[in-house]
Amino acid sequence: MSPLLRITWLDPQASTWNADLSSLRLSLGAPTNPALLPPHFMQATLPRIGGSVFLAHRGGQLVGAGFLFPRACQAGARSYTLRWHQLEPGEQVDPQSIIAHMEPRLGSAAVVLYDPAAIQSYEATSGWSPSAGLSIGHPDEHEVRSIRQLQEAIWQGASDDLYPVDIHSIGFGATHTLVARRAGTMAGFLFGFYACAGPGVPAAWPVRTGLRLESQLLGVVPEHRAHGIATALKAAQAQAMVEAGIDLVHWTFDPLQVANAMLNLSRLRAVAFTFYPRLYRFRNALNRVDASRLGVTWLVRSRRVRAALAGQGAAEPRDLAADRSVVRVNDGCGSPCFGVDAATIALEIPARWTALQASALEEARAWRQTTDDLLSHYLGHVEGRYMVTGVGRDGPRCYLVAERIDRSLLQRVLDGEIP
């Protein structure tokens, strides 16, 4: 008779979390197993969206590992995808015995067992056409491979940092993926993970927080850029989430990338009040210093967002040369000021962050440290703290514009009024 299966859950709050995950991924074939999720996602994002990790032992021997992902709700009931990686193909592990071990932790939540090594199905759609020659929908089995290839081309990182193609399959059920096709060719992609947890939001907002989407990665083929494809992909994502009964979409971006700030804050009319210093440990062509991230909250049912996606509410950068009511809290990568008590503040960011990292690494580190300290000090989701609501300019100099949270601001964000 085989020894009983023993389940051990990894604790994301433990000081050994990153080391434990690294060790587990090595046991599962990293860095050459393309079915593994990237280490930075497993370490930082999976626990943030309400996912978890466990080890399965039998007789003291590790026989496999499970990764739980929140899944789209069905009939209002919470469910999870159990991504099961078996260590030894010949080891007989009864799937039902694995699921039975989930009950004490998950209660009545449904668990769908998923084998990433199995043959998967993909269902291509093209139901959304925002403009002539552009269509958006779910990917087919060939396009999911192009998604992975495009990730590699844009970020130029290690293959272990790429997302597996199977996460876009019908069976996985824990992601929402879109591709944009221009003139019949895949021009970009966008995917996110369903989440049953996330950052706090102001209590005054009438939003549902039980199921959200963590929008994870957006990429556009270089020769197809400057055609509004990123905005079109986000608009399709917003429409899909509204139809699914989801109010909140979250994602993160590097606050020092001006183009990303313009897309997220000005065109999409998202806001930001959550900051993650040194969120990721990876290094690549776009991240040569600590990868800190600004957390974005997108209220997809708000009038503000709906107007922006309809082409009526996008905001131009605020003219800070003409508006002296906005108080600046730094001067370049130095002189941070932590004692400001103003209605609106401006935090300067570099105009060409990627190029600066490549040409002046020490200066880039100084920019990161100064802005990390300021964002950590000022931002929050309660009244009296600050919310990033837009972008500002003074000649060639670029800024993130943040407003002090009060009931008036919270209502304006819902109603779509632009200062």
> Given this model, what pLDDT does residue 419 score?
46
Question: What secondary structure letter does DSSP report for 163?
Answer: P
Across-strand partners of 243? none
pLDDT (0 to 100) of residue 279: 81
Query: According to the model, what pLDDT value does residue 357 have?
Result: 86
Could you tell me the pTM of the whole model?
Answer: 0.91
Amino acid 163: pLDDT: 96
**pLDDT recorded at residue 98:** 83
Cα(200)–Cα(207) distance, integer angstroms: 11
Residue 169 backbone class (left: φ over 0; alpha: ψ -120 to 50; beta: rest): beta
Q: How many whole angstroms separate alpha carbon 79 and alpha carbon 350? A: 43
pLDDT of the residue at 131: 75
According to DSSP, the residues that pair with 252 across neighbouring strands are 295
How much is the pLDDT for 90?
65
Per-residue pLDDT reduced to its tens digit, 29-46? 999 999 999 999 999 999
Helices (H), 77-228: 95-100, 103-106, 143-155
DSSP 329-380: --BTTB--------SEEEEEE-SSHHHHHHH-HHHHHHHHHHHHHHHHHHB-
Give per-residue pLDDT as tens, 166-189.
Answer: 999 999 999 999 999 988 889 999
pLDDT tens, per residue, the chain with 419 residues: 456 788 899 999 999 999 999 999 999 999 999 999 999 999 999 999 999 999 998 888 898 999 999 997 665 678 999 999 988 766 677 777 888 888 788 888 889 999 999 999 999 988 777 777 889 999 999 999 999 999 998 888 789 999 999 999 999 999 999 999 988 889 999 999 999 989 999 999 999 888 999 999 999 999 888 888 999 999 999 999 999 999 999 999 999 999 999 999 999 999 999 999 988 776 666 677 788 999 999 999 999 999 988 887 667 889 999 888 999 999 999 899 999 999 999 999 999 988 888 888 999 999 999 999 999 999 999 999 999 999 999 999 999 999 999 999 999 999 865 44
CA distance 17 to 87: 20
